[in-house]
Amino acid sequence: MIGDATVPLLLSLKVAGWATLLALVAGVAFGYLLARVRFFGREVLDAALTLPMVMPPTVLGYYLLVLLGKRGPVGAWLQESFGINLIFTWQGAVVAAALVAFPLVYKAARAAFEDIDTNLERAGRSLGFSETKVFFRVTLPLAWHGILAGAMLAFARALGEFGATLMVAGSLPGRTQTLSIAIYEAVQAGDDAAANKLVIIASVICIVVLVAAGRVLQGGYRRAFRY
């Protein structure tokens, strides 16, 4: 019975892992930008970046289909320039999951950067550090607890993503059928035993990730308190 869950589980872990990596890079970049730079339309951009957190996943999936489809601006460019088609592929599932998980990393990163005492960054600059060196030697080490916790939450969110992934990647067993989609298919087929097993596996993984994220945040608070 466990073997039946292995393929969607491994696929989900692969999709969630790559999605978290993409969300982490983009989330840290935008989190730092909005935490440190003041510009016109800043809060509008913040709202736009947070939108995937509250927008229905099926709506996000539709937007991705419009953008990434063969007739879409991004999809047509990828197809013509590199011969890449993301629709109904696991890579498309990664893009969908990354979009949904992105706000969790972005909000955590922005909050972590805003909590840093900017005097510490000024001290680094006074020592002759470049802006890049200040970021990697001062800012990022001070913010990494919050960013890591956000990344772990994003991983859990990407692991359970359903709506946008189903619309972009479909439900192809062994290719794009992730754990959440496999649960849906099992329920639709009336296979309660398989659905229960998959639900338990997904629940255990998410609980473990949430507990670990809480411990990371607690470690960050204790570290900040010591300083």
Query: Looking at residues 138-158, what average pLDDT do you find?
Result: 91
- Give the domains, in start order, of the chain with CATH numbers: 2-226 (1.10.3720.10)
CA 217 to chain centre: 18
pTM of the model: 0.87
- 8 A C-beta contact, residue 11 and residue 177: yes
Question: Is the per-residue pLDDT at 3 higher than 60?
Answer: no
- Which residue, among 136, 153, 122, 158, has the nearest Cα to 217 in the 3D structure? 153
Which pLDDT belongs to residue 22?
97
Residue 117 clears pLDDT 90, i.e. is over it? no
Interhelix angle for 2-36 vs 90-114, to 10°? Answer: 40
Q: Is 1 helix (H, G, I), strand (E, B) or coil?
A: coil
pLDDT recorded at residue 217: 67
pLDDT value of residue 10: 92
pLDDT tens, residue by residue, 21-75: 999 999 999 999 999 998 998 999 999 999 999 999 889 999 999 999 888 899 8
Helix axes 2-36, 179-188, angle to 10 degrees: 130
Phi, psi of 211 (to 5 degrees): -65, -40
pLDDT score at 110: 94
Q: What is the pLDDT of residue 23?
A: 97
C-alpha span between 21 and 92 (Å, rounded)? 15
Using alpha carbons only, what angle is made at residue 49 by residues 184 and 25, rounded to the nearest 5 degrees?
85
Give the pLDDT band (50/70/90) at residue 220. Answer: low
State the Cα–Cα distance between residues 151 and 109, nearest whole angstrom: 9
